[in-house]
Structure 1
Amino acid sequence: MARINGCEAEQLIVTDRATQYGDGCFTTLCVKNGLPWLWDLHLARFQRTLDALAIPHPDWQWLTQEVSQLAAGFTDLGVIKVLISRGSGGRGYSPAGCHNPNVVITTAQWPHHYHDWQQQGIALGVCQQALGLTPMLAGHKHLNRLEQVLLKQEIEQQGWQDAVVRDVLGQVVETSASNIFWRKDQTLYTPDLSMAGVCGVMREQVIRLVASTPYCLQIVKSQLDTLLCADEVFITNALMALVPVNQINDTYFTERTALTELNKRLYSC
């Protein structure tokens, strides 16, 4: 199912800047019990990203109603993707004259293999391709995702479930489609995303939840060796929530103490 600006549609005009330049942003959210899970965090990230890109905001009350109506149609878990483009107009790269953003909403089934990942954990490779440093766009879930397309190709060619991704300085950033956390003793760590990567909604939720656990949190710039010395590792995104990492290349992780603590709080929210 697809809706564009509130109307059922399957095609976006070819002059839309989303297709011409990747000029916009998106979010993918999980539906639970007929409700858009963590919608307030998705909405706040949208607002930050649109401000960073200087794209006019849509009517947030209308968008919330649209998303809520679609979420109510799911009887179990579901997926809603919301894409906001700058719309059509401008000359070349210039966005001058673009005042009418387009809002595209699509729905999909929840990926059921995430159940297995949540229970059994996954193994990660380590990508050789690296993310560039883009401080103007870092943290934002904009539409320019060619780096992730290339990373996904590498992951599929290697036969990995997912992989750790570093920046061009060798610092751990994320995986191809999730944020990463690790624990050493009583401290949880997650990468600094001020130069590359996406600030995921579930990452933000986990950071909030850590305050009510026995652990402290540090946002860091770390090389791969630091990650491999962790006591436990897990990855997060809005759809799969928290997934334990059993292995990164030839390094194994068996502990899940922080993950268990956080899951208790996450699912009691």
Structure 2
Amino acid sequence: MQGWVNGAPGEQLSVRDRGLAYGDGLFETIAVRGGRIPLLARHMARLADGCRRLSIPLDLPQMESELQAFAGQLGDGVAKLVVTRGEGQRGYAPPQPCQPLRILQAAPLPQYPAVHAEQGVRLFPCETRLAEQPLLAGLKHLNRLEQVLARAEWQDAECAEGLMRDSHGRVIEGVYSNLFLVIEGGLVTADLSRCGVAGVMRAELLQQAQMLGLAIELRDISFEELLSA
């Protein structure tokens, strides 16, 4: 399926786009099933928060309408939504005003081996560390060089995911997933106020756990605690 740019089929972008030049933007990776988006509200809420924090004046109702139309044509698959600040001149200073660029791409749904759900997965302990930047913590922004470097560390197909820590050795997340520990019947997940991506499924699991009355902790996690959980 052809991608969309600014609400219309097409795949041409300006060489002056700030997403390309500086990673100045955000993205969402969205599961689509039967033309519907199960976690639509969570994706849009995270996108809205990111646009607010980066001061990108995105028309959110327009973006949601385009996303739902795209999902309807896709049927089953993964929709990647990318928002950039749009075109700009040379230099870091954000253009005032700016015209955000909206991109939608399609991909097949990933097929994970059943053994992953039945027996768990093997994690590779990445040496690449996540830098601490509270202004960007939690956002799914376009600069993913830390994840690129981390994913390049292993080639072993037996490792389904990589484990990422911050500069102090605290366990934060996977290269492309969030991490939960089950401790004494409750859920523990990393504090993402300094770095990391606040995943939509993480938010969903936390809400479901709360509804079930499970104990929830968002806090620092040591590597040793992870190994003993």
**Could you state the TM-score of these two structures normalised by the residue count of structure 2?**
0.94
Partner of 2:154: 155
* Pairs within 5 Å for 1:21-60: 21-58=22-59, 60=60
Q: For 2:45 and 2:17, locate their aligned partners in 1 and report how far apart those are by CA, in whole Å.
A: 24
Partner of 2:111: 112
Q: Which segments of 5 or more consecutive residues in structure 2 lack a partner in the other structure?
A: none
Partner of 2:11: 10
Aligned length: 228
Task: Tell me whether 1:61 sits opposite 2:89 in the alignment.
Answer: no
Q: For 2:43 and 2:193, locate their aligned partners in 1 and report how far apart those are by CA, in whole Å.
A: 19
Could you tell me how far 1:188 is from its partner in structure 2?
Answer: 0.9
Q: For 2:195 and 2:154, locate their aligned partners in 1 and report how far apart those are by CA, in whole Å.
A: 19
Q: For 1:9 and 1:173, locate their aligned partners in 2 and report how far apart those are by CA, in whole Å.
A: 37
C-alpha distance 40-4 of structure 1, shift in aligned 2 (>3 A): same
Partner of 2:134: 135
Q: For 2:57 and 2:118, locate their aligned partners in 1 and report how far apart those are by CA, in whole Å.
A: 42
**Could you state the TM-score of these two structures normalised by the residue count of structure 1?**
0.80
Could you tell me how far 1:74 is from its partner in structure 2?
Answer: 3.9
State the secondary structure of the residue aligned to 1:44.
Answer: helix
- Confirm or deny: 8 A CA contact 1:188 1:215 kept in the other structure: yes
- Confirm or deny: 8 A CA contact 1:90 1:98 kept in the other structure: no
- Confirm or deny: 8 A CA contact 1:125 1:160 kept in the other structure: yes
C-alpha distance 130-159 of structure 1, shift in aligned 2 (>3 A): farther
Identical pairs, percent: 35
Q: For 1:6 and 1:87, locate their aligned partners in 2 and report how far apart those are by CA, in whole Å.
A: 14
Partner of 1:237: none
Could you tell me how far 1:89 is from its partner in structure 2?
Answer: 1.6
| CA deviation map 1:117-149 (0-9, x unaligned) | 334431112111211111111110000100000
Q: For 2:114 and 2:98, locate their aligned partners in 1 and report how far apart those are by CA, in whole Å.
A: 42
* Pairs within 5 Å for 1:1-269: 1-58=2-59, 60-75=60-75, 77-113=76-112, 117-156=116-155, 160-230=159-229
User: Match of 2:202, as an amino acid?
Assistant: R
User: Match of 1:62, as an amino acid?
Assistant: Q
Q: For 1:136 and 1:8, locate their aligned partners in 2 and report how far apart those are by CA, in whole Å.
A: 34
Could you tell me how far 1:186 is from its partner in structure 2?
Answer: 2.0
State the secondary structure of the residue aligned to 1:206.
Answer: helix
C-alpha distance 85-161 of structure 1, shift in aligned 2 (>3 A): same
Q: For 2:5 and 2:114, locate their aligned partners in 1 and report how far apart those are by CA, in whole Å.
A: 31
State the secondary structure of the residue aligned to 1:30.
Answer: strand
Could you tell me how far 1:160 is from its partner in structure 2?
Answer: 2.3
Q: For 2:96 and 2:215, locate their aligned partners in 1 and report how far apart those are by CA, in whole Å.
A: 47
State the secondary structure of the residue aligned to 1:61.
Answer: helix
State the secondary structure of the residue aligned to 2:81.
Answer: strand
Partner of 1:255: none
Q: For 1:79 and 1:154, locate their aligned partners in 2 and report how far apart those are by CA, in whole Å.
A: 26
Could you tell me how far 1:180 is from its partner in structure 2?
Answer: 0.2
